[in-house]
Amino acid sequence: MKRIVMLTCPKAENVCTGGGCFSALNSRTKAFAPYKGEEVKVLAFMKCSGCGHFPGEDKGLDEKIQYILDRRPDVVHLGICCCHDAKEKELCPEIMAVCRIFEDHGISVVRGTHSVF
């Protein structure tokens, strides 16, 4: 069973229901296609703490990261909303810092949920 976390940006809450991410997961399409035929368990649908909030400087974000680390997911999938620049597909610096922590703990980070970037 693949244990996953989806990480998204709180700015997207104005236009996002999370439905696209879960639809792609349930149908095992887009970034979730590699899990076709495999059981998947969603451990969290996490949001960062917003622009200017970095690990080590924001207690709430640190608690969220620790919660994820304690559950030991196999992979963290990033929503397209985590991009600082949607055209260039560049991750925002806050998301990059969070991803480095996950990767340093042996957790794979995949760029994509309902879109692959």
- On whether residue 63 sits in a domain, the answer given is yes
**pLDDT grade for 87, boundaries at 50, 70 and 90:** low
Number of domains observed in the structure of the chain: 1
- On whether residue 49 sits in a domain, the answer given is yes
**pLDDT grade for 108, boundaries at 50, 70 and 90:** very high
- On whether residue 116 sits in a domain, the answer given is no
Range of the domain at 36: 2-111
Mean pLDDT within 16-41: 97
pTM over the 0.85 mark = yes
- On whether residue 95 sits in a domain, the answer given is yes
CATH number at residue 32: 3.40.50
- On whether residue 117 sits in a domain, the answer given is no
- On whether residue 14 sits in a domain, the answer given is yes
Mean pLDDT within 9-29: 95
Question: Hey, what long-range contacts does 103-110 have (CB within 8 A, 24 or more apart)?
Answer: 105/69, 107/68, 107/69, 107/72, 107/73, 107/74, 107/75, 107/76, 108/74, 108/75, 108/76, 109/75, 109/76, 109/78, 110/31, 110/75, 110/76, 110/77, 110/78
